[in-house]
Amino acid sequence: MNNKIIIINGPNLNLLGEREQSQYGAITFDKLKENCINKSKELGLKTEFIQSNLEGEIVNLIQDARKIYDGMIINAAAFTHTSVAIRDALEIFKKPIIEVHLSNIYKREEFRHKSLISNIVSGGIFGLGDNGYILAIIAIEKLLKYEN
């Protein structure tokens, strides 16, 4: 079965609901996780939803994920704009990857306009708040179903 996915969240996303609600909305990390798990179950996906503030830990998660999961959704948060190490790990994954950002990174400070991972992922969603995660789950389910 091509139905195991991992949703990886980068630094400070554990503080959703508390940080910059004007950018990220009022949803808490726990509620976002619950919504993603529920949507995944509805679509028959087995989903792990995790968060780390540490770059190396995210690299390890991505490396380990290639042996376990069929697809990935990643909001690398601030590391999106800085981490060659995360980009390199994602390139090794070699299965569908969807990049998500809650905020519209292109409407914000210039340093957020550059994503180091956009040109190696399958596709991306930004600026749609927590709905972006749900849309990414719907999209990856289709990518996995029609793969092979």
Cα–Cα distance for residue pair 56/83, rounded to 1 Å: 10
Interface segment toward ligand DQA; rule CB under 6 A; list 43-51, 57-65, 100-108, 117-125? 100-108
Q: Does 77 engage in binding with ligand DQA (CB under 6 A)?
A: yes
CA-wise closest residue to 14 among 3, 24, 4? 24
CB of 9 vs ligand DQA, minimal distance in Å: 9
Cα–Cα distance for residue pair 13/77, rounded to 1 Å: 7
Q: Does 144 engage in binding with ligand DQA (CB under 6 A)?
A: no
Q: Does 101 engage in binding with ligand DQA (CB under 6 A)?
A: yes
CB of 146 vs ligand DQA, minimal distance in Å: 27
Tokens of 56: 């190396």
Of 65, 80, 116, 140, which lies in the binding site for ligand DQA, with binding defined by CB under 6 A? 80
**Could you give the residue ranges of the DSSP H alpha helices within the chain?**
21-24, 29-42, 55-68, 84-93, 131-146
In degrees and rounded to multiples of 5, residue 114 shows phi and psi of -100, 120
Cβ proximity of 67 and 88 under 8 Å: no
Q: Which is nearer to ligand DQA, 13 or 144 (CB)?
A: 13
Tokens of 141: 């389910």
Residue 101 designated active-site? yes
Of 40, 47, 75, 83, which lies in the binding site for ligand DQA, with binding defined by CB under 6 A? 75
> So which residues are the catalytic ones?
24, 101
What does the binding site for ligand DQA look like in residue numbers (CB under 6 A)?
Answer: 12, 75, 77-78, 80, 101-103, 105, 112
